[in-house]
Copies of this chain bind each other. A is one copy, B any other.
Amino acid sequence: MSQTVADLRVERKPKLSETVVAAIRKQLLAGEIPPGQKLPTEGQLTEAFGVSRTVIREALAKLAADGLVEARQGAGVFVSEHISTTFGVLAADMGAKDSVALNVLEVRLAIEIESAGLAAIRRNAAQEAAIQEAFFEFERLLLASQPTGPADLAFHRAIASATNNPFYVEMLDVLGRRAIPCDVTSPWSTELVQSDEYQRGLQREHLVILNAISAGDAEAAREAMRTHLAHSQQRYRERLQARQAYYANSLKAASTE
Protein backbone atom coordinates (compact mmCIF):
# COMPACT_ATOMS: atom_id res chain seq x y z
CA MET A 1 0.00 0.00 0.00
CA SER A 2 1.23 3.46 -0.84
CA GLN A 3 0.51 5.37 2.29
CA THR A 4 2.83 8.18 1.35
CA VAL A 5 0.22 9.76 -0.84
CA ALA A 6 -2.46 9.22 1.74
CA ASP A 7 -0.30 10.94 4.32
CA LEU A 8 -0.23 14.05 2.21
CA ARG A 9 -3.97 14.22 2.19
CA VAL A 10 -4.49 15.88 5.49
CA GLU A 11 -7.53 18.07 5.75
CA ARG A 12 -8.11 19.50 9.15
CA LYS A 13 -11.51 20.20 10.56
CA PRO A 14 -11.52 23.26 12.77
CA LYS A 15 -14.17 22.75 15.38
CA LEU A 16 -16.17 25.84 16.22
CA SER A 17 -15.26 25.62 19.88
CA GLU A 18 -11.57 25.68 18.97
CA THR A 19 -11.87 28.98 17.18
CA VAL A 20 -13.76 30.40 20.13
CA VAL A 21 -11.07 29.10 22.47
CA ALA A 22 -8.39 30.75 20.38
CA ALA A 23 -10.23 34.05 20.34
CA ILE A 24 -10.89 34.16 24.06
CA ARG A 25 -7.39 32.91 24.88
CA LYS A 26 -5.94 35.71 22.81
CA GLN A 27 -7.97 38.28 24.68
CA LEU A 28 -7.00 36.81 28.04
CA LEU A 29 -3.29 36.75 27.23
CA ALA A 30 -3.54 40.31 25.98
CA GLY A 31 -4.84 41.19 29.42
CA GLU A 32 -8.06 42.70 28.15
CA ILE A 33 -9.81 41.23 31.15
CA PRO A 34 -7.93 41.66 34.44
CA PRO A 35 -7.40 38.57 36.61
CA GLY A 36 -10.16 37.82 39.06
CA GLN A 37 -12.61 39.69 36.90
CA LYS A 38 -15.77 38.15 35.54
CA LEU A 39 -16.07 37.20 31.90
CA PRO A 40 -19.19 37.99 29.89
CA THR A 41 -21.98 35.54 30.59
CA GLU A 42 -22.47 32.53 28.39
CA GLY A 43 -25.48 34.20 26.88
CA GLN A 44 -23.52 37.31 25.95
CA LEU A 45 -20.73 35.23 24.47
CA THR A 46 -23.30 33.27 22.51
CA GLU A 47 -24.50 36.47 20.90
CA ALA A 48 -21.02 37.90 20.47
CA PHE A 49 -19.64 34.87 18.64
CA GLY A 50 -22.85 33.92 16.89
CA VAL A 51 -22.73 30.30 18.03
CA SER A 52 -24.87 28.24 20.32
CA ARG A 53 -24.38 28.01 24.03
CA THR A 54 -23.13 24.46 23.60
CA VAL A 55 -20.07 25.69 21.75
CA ILE A 56 -19.44 28.47 24.23
CA ARG A 57 -19.67 26.04 27.12
CA GLU A 58 -17.26 23.64 25.46
CA ALA A 59 -14.80 26.46 24.84
CA LEU A 60 -15.04 27.67 28.43
CA ALA A 61 -14.56 24.11 29.65
CA LYS A 62 -11.38 23.85 27.63
CA LEU A 63 -10.09 27.14 28.98
CA ALA A 64 -10.95 26.01 32.49
CA ALA A 65 -9.05 22.77 31.88
CA ASP A 66 -6.05 24.86 30.88
CA GLY A 67 -6.34 26.80 34.09
CA LEU A 68 -7.01 30.12 32.43
CA VAL A 69 -10.49 30.58 33.84
CA GLU A 70 -12.67 29.01 36.48
CA ALA A 71 -16.46 28.82 36.55
CA ARG A 72 -18.57 29.18 39.67
CA GLN A 73 -22.13 28.08 39.39
CA GLY A 74 -24.58 30.89 39.86
CA ALA A 75 -21.86 33.52 39.87
CA GLY A 76 -20.09 33.43 36.53
CA VAL A 77 -16.80 32.60 34.86
CA PHE A 78 -13.74 34.36 36.24
CA VAL A 79 -10.19 34.88 35.00
CA SER A 80 -7.65 32.95 37.03
CA GLU A 81 -5.28 35.02 39.12
CA HIS A 82 -1.87 33.59 38.38
CA ILE A 83 -1.75 33.17 34.63
CA SER A 84 -2.24 36.60 33.21
CA THR A 85 0.02 38.22 35.75
CA THR A 86 2.75 35.73 34.99
CA PHE A 87 2.94 36.38 31.32
CA GLY A 88 1.71 39.93 31.40
CA VAL A 89 4.80 41.03 33.27
CA LEU A 90 7.06 39.36 30.78
CA ALA A 91 5.26 40.82 27.82
CA ALA A 92 5.49 44.29 29.28
CA ASP A 93 9.22 44.04 29.72
CA MET A 94 9.94 43.16 26.17
CA GLY A 95 10.39 46.36 24.31
CA ALA A 96 11.16 46.67 20.66
CA LYS A 97 14.91 46.90 21.15
CA ASP A 98 16.99 44.54 19.12
CA SER A 99 19.32 43.54 21.90
CA VAL A 100 16.29 42.49 23.87
CA ALA A 101 14.89 40.71 20.85
CA LEU A 102 17.95 38.52 20.58
CA ASN A 103 17.70 37.53 24.21
CA VAL A 104 14.02 36.81 23.89
CA LEU A 105 14.70 34.74 20.83
CA GLU A 106 17.14 32.73 22.87
CA VAL A 107 14.54 32.03 25.53
CA ARG A 108 12.11 31.05 22.85
CA LEU A 109 14.77 28.68 21.60
CA ALA A 110 14.78 26.89 24.92
CA ILE A 111 11.00 26.62 24.93
CA GLU A 112 10.74 25.33 21.39
CA ILE A 113 13.53 22.80 21.64
CA GLU A 114 11.87 21.11 24.54
CA SER A 115 8.42 21.37 23.03
CA ALA A 116 9.66 19.62 19.90
CA GLY A 117 10.96 16.76 22.01
CA LEU A 118 7.70 16.48 23.94
CA ALA A 119 5.66 16.71 20.77
CA ALA A 120 7.55 13.77 19.33
CA ILE A 121 6.49 11.68 22.31
CA ARG A 122 3.00 12.93 23.06
CA ARG A 123 1.51 14.01 19.75
CA ASN A 124 -1.71 12.37 18.65
CA ALA A 125 -2.89 11.88 15.10
CA ALA A 126 -4.81 15.15 14.84
CA GLN A 127 -1.91 17.17 16.20
CA GLU A 128 0.55 15.51 13.84
CA ALA A 129 -1.85 16.31 11.03
CA ALA A 130 -1.94 19.95 12.08
CA ILE A 131 1.85 20.16 11.96
CA GLN A 132 1.92 18.56 8.53
CA GLU A 133 -0.77 20.92 7.34
CA ALA A 134 1.25 23.94 8.39
CA PHE A 135 4.28 22.49 6.63
CA PHE A 136 2.44 22.04 3.35
CA GLU A 137 0.80 25.42 3.68
CA PHE A 138 4.29 26.89 3.86
CA GLU A 139 5.18 24.91 0.75
CA ARG A 140 2.11 26.14 -1.08
CA LEU A 141 2.72 29.77 -0.21
CA LEU A 142 6.35 29.42 -1.19
CA LEU A 143 5.42 28.12 -4.64
CA ALA A 144 2.83 30.85 -4.99
CA SER A 145 5.43 33.46 -4.05
CA GLN A 146 3.31 34.68 -1.18
CA PRO A 147 4.43 35.67 2.31
CA THR A 148 5.18 32.55 4.31
CA GLY A 149 5.41 34.17 7.73
CA PRO A 150 2.02 33.07 9.04
CA ALA A 151 2.57 29.47 7.95
CA ASP A 152 5.94 29.42 9.67
CA LEU A 153 4.38 30.67 12.87
CA ALA A 154 1.57 28.12 12.54
CA PHE A 155 4.13 25.35 12.16
CA HIS A 156 5.88 26.22 15.38
CA ARG A 157 2.58 26.79 17.12
CA ALA A 158 1.25 23.39 16.08
CA ILE A 159 4.34 21.76 17.56
CA ALA A 160 3.85 23.58 20.84
CA SER A 161 0.23 22.52 20.84
CA ALA A 162 1.23 18.88 20.32
CA THR A 163 2.92 18.83 23.72
CA ASN A 164 -0.53 18.78 25.34
CA ASN A 165 0.87 21.35 27.75
CA PRO A 166 -1.08 24.57 27.20
CA PHE A 167 1.64 26.70 28.74
CA TYR A 168 4.00 26.00 25.89
CA VAL A 169 1.49 27.53 23.50
CA GLU A 170 0.97 30.50 25.75
CA MET A 171 4.68 31.08 26.11
CA LEU A 172 5.12 30.91 22.38
CA ASP A 173 2.28 33.36 21.87
CA VAL A 174 3.78 35.84 24.26
CA LEU A 175 7.37 35.46 23.07
CA GLY A 176 6.62 34.99 19.40
CA ARG A 177 4.83 38.27 19.13
CA ARG A 178 8.10 40.04 19.77
CA ALA A 179 10.64 38.03 17.89
CA ILE A 180 9.44 36.24 14.82
CA PRO A 181 12.32 35.17 12.60
CA CYS A 182 10.24 35.69 9.50
CA ASP A 183 8.51 38.87 10.41
CA VAL A 184 7.79 40.33 7.01
CA THR A 185 6.31 43.44 8.53
CA SER A 186 9.66 44.55 9.87
CA PRO A 187 10.99 47.70 8.26
CA TRP A 188 14.30 46.08 7.36
CA SER A 189 12.78 42.99 5.83
CA THR A 190 14.51 43.21 2.49
CA GLU A 191 14.76 40.74 -0.30
CA LEU A 192 17.04 38.67 1.87
CA VAL A 193 14.16 37.41 3.93
CA GLN A 194 11.91 36.66 1.04
CA SER A 195 14.53 35.10 -1.16
CA ASP A 196 13.60 31.71 -2.43
CA GLU A 197 16.85 30.20 -1.28
CA TYR A 198 16.34 31.47 2.24
CA GLN A 199 12.87 29.99 2.55
CA ARG A 200 13.93 26.77 0.90
CA GLY A 201 16.48 26.39 3.66
CA LEU A 202 13.76 26.96 6.22
CA GLN A 203 11.63 24.25 4.69
CA ARG A 204 14.51 21.78 4.64
CA GLU A 205 14.98 22.33 8.35
CA HIS A 206 11.25 22.13 8.97
CA LEU A 207 11.16 18.81 7.17
CA VAL A 208 13.82 17.34 9.43
CA ILE A 209 11.83 18.44 12.46
CA LEU A 210 8.60 17.09 11.03
CA ASN A 211 10.16 13.72 10.27
CA ALA A 212 11.62 13.41 13.73
CA ILE A 213 8.30 14.21 15.38
CA SER A 214 6.44 11.82 13.11
CA ALA A 215 8.95 9.12 13.96
CA GLY A 216 8.48 9.80 17.66
CA ASP A 217 12.18 10.42 18.14
CA ALA A 218 12.39 13.02 20.89
CA GLU A 219 16.16 13.35 20.81
CA ALA A 220 16.23 13.87 17.05
CA ALA A 221 13.37 16.35 17.24
CA ARG A 222 15.16 18.42 19.85
CA GLU A 223 18.37 18.38 17.86
CA ALA A 224 16.59 19.34 14.64
CA MET A 225 14.79 22.18 16.33
CA ARG A 226 18.00 23.31 17.96
CA THR A 227 19.84 23.60 14.65
CA HIS A 228 16.83 25.25 13.06
CA LEU A 229 16.57 27.95 15.68
CA ALA A 230 20.33 28.36 15.88
CA HIS A 231 20.28 29.09 12.17
CA SER A 232 17.40 31.48 12.68
CA GLN A 233 19.43 33.25 15.31
CA GLN A 234 22.33 33.51 12.90
CA ARG A 235 20.11 34.87 10.15
CA TYR A 236 18.62 37.36 12.55
CA ARG A 237 22.06 38.63 13.48
CA GLU A 238 23.00 38.95 9.85
CA ARG A 239 19.91 40.99 9.18
CA LEU A 240 20.71 43.27 12.07
CA GLN A 241 24.21 43.78 10.70
CA ALA A 242 22.83 44.36 7.24
CA ARG A 243 20.53 47.02 8.54
CA GLN A 244 23.37 48.55 10.48
CA ALA A 245 25.52 48.60 7.34
CA TYR A 246 22.66 50.14 5.43
CA TYR A 247 22.37 52.96 7.90
CA ALA A 248 26.12 53.44 7.88
CA ASN A 249 26.11 53.66 4.12
CA SER A 250 23.25 56.08 3.96
CA LEU A 251 24.99 58.17 6.56
CA LYS A 252 28.22 58.20 4.57
CA ALA A 253 26.34 58.97 1.39
CA ALA A 254 24.66 61.88 3.09
CA SER A 255 27.93 63.28 4.35
CA THR A 256 29.72 63.08 1.00
CA GLU A 257 26.84 64.59 -0.82
Contact = CB atoms under 8 A, between A and B. Distances in A.
A64 interface: yes
B103 A70 contact: no
Interface residues of A, number: 55
Instruction: Tell me the number of copies of this protein.
Output: 2
**Could you tell me the dominant secondary structure of chain A's interface residues?**
helix
A130 B65 CA distance: 15
Nearest to A102: B165
B124 A81 contact: yes
A167 interface: yes
A3 to B, nearest CB: 16
Contact of A86 (B90, B178, B216): B178
Interface stretch (A37-45, A108-116, A202-210): A108-116
Given A124-B80, A167-B103, A70 B96 contact: yes
Contact of A165 (B97, B103, B113, B175): B103
A170 interface: yes
